[in-house]
Structures are given as C-alpha cells and as structure tokens.
Structure 1
Amino acid sequence: MEPLPAKTEPAYEERYIGPKTLNIRSSPNGKIISSLKHGAKVIIYSEEGSWSKISGNDSPDLWVSNSHLCEYSDCSDQPKWKPAPPPPLRTITRSTPQYSSGCSCSSGNNCYGPRGGRYCITSGGNKRYR
C-alpha cells in the first residue's frame, strides 16, 4: 500500500486594515456586519474580484474590500493611510506693551482705556488703575 500524499494547507495571506475603520460585509458588496480598526490584521482565505474573504470555511462569510488592505500594520506601503506626523510645536512670543511716557504714575498724569478707565503706568511697566 502506498502512503497517502501529505495534505497541503491553502496559502493564506495576512493583510492589515488601512483606513481608520473598514466595514466587514456578509458578501461582496453585501450587508455591513461589523467593522475593524486601522492596523487590525486579517487573514485572506479567498478572493472574489476586488473582495477578500476573511473567514474560514467553518465560519459565516465575512468580506472586506481589497482596496482598503495593506501589507504592513503601519500601512507604510500605502501613503494615504500612513499616520500623519505630529504638527510642529508653535512658539508663542509675547510682546511687551508700549505705553506713552505721558501716563507714568510719577508724573501724576492719567491715561484712559478703551472703556473709559483711568490708569497710570508704574515704573515696572504695569498698569495701575485709579
């Protein structure tokens, strides 16, 4: 009696979700069942056109669009799904207000604010209201 040939497993492929979320469907272009988040790993069991079946034969059918899958978890092979770099830090500069010397508290003169308040400028450059 000859030995039986070894059973070979189908070649499955690992892929990752590219967009922020991706709908899982019951069939190609079918009803939405759930969704997966960016970077989630899926195993492709078969393909039908532009759709990938991500469930084994013993499970209910689950399908995702091929165009939203990438080869690496960070999706570095698809620039449109690469995480955006953080925005550059902004430096905030504050300017010291310039006041007229005619409002100094030592001169006894007052200045008037936009709402009518009277003030003078101290030697430290601060406003003192009167």
Structure 2
Amino acid sequence: MRDSLEAIAFYTDVFGVEELTERTMLLSEMPGMDTTPGADRTVVYAKLQFSDGSALGVAELYGTPLGGGEHVIGNSIHVGLVYEDPAEQRTAFDKLAEDGQVLEELENRFWGAAYGAVRDMYGVIWETNCYLPQGGQGE
C-alpha cells in the first residue's frame, strides 16, 4: 500500500533529512476527521528538517478543496513555507495571491499557527505557516 506516511519515510531517506515528528499531523487528528477511512495514514502536514537548518513542509491534500478534489500523481504534495515573522508571511502570501487564488485565508488556526494557502498565477499551491507563541492563538 502506498500512502503519505510511506512517502515521508522515503523522502527522509532520499534527502538524508529528519522528520520533525512533533510537527507531523495526520488527518485523523483534525476535528471531525477521525473516522475518515485512511485518516490514520494520511499526512496533513509534515516538516522535514535539513542539516543546514532549512526545512521542507509537505502535505497530502487531494480530495480536499486545496487539492482540487481528485488525485493526480504529482499534484498531491504542496510546497510549505514556514515563517517566524507574521509580517513577512503576510507580504509573501499577498504577493503569491496576486493574479492567483486564495484557497484558505491567512488566519490563526487551532494547531497554533497562522496559516493560509494560495494557488499562484502559475498553478503552484503554497501553504504558509507562522507558528504562534506557545499558549496563545495570536492576535
């Protein structure tokens, strides 16, 4: 069986990176999704940390409004951007949205981050996260 957990393990090996498991979220952990078939093997978000400090955020989103509702090989992994500064996140998000389409408004989310998703003018889906200070949901 091929699933997103298997893909994450593959990419950690290919790139020699570490999966930051404390950042991994399965579909089964999202409110109301725990009984969805395959939810315990579907990665909503994972962060792969490179030795130089850079990171790659990945998500499996086909079958959702972000994924377009269908699985097509090559479009079920989206590029994730992680910010430390909410102002930088907002600037990049707004520029990506120019002549593109906002898929999820940039807002504070239940997992402790400001998050938004946009499909740019070239069709690339970008997800942005800016983790909020522990104990708060931000502004």
How does the TM-score come out when normalised to structure 1?
A: 0.21
More helix by share: 2
Q: TM-score scaled by structure 2?
A: 0.20
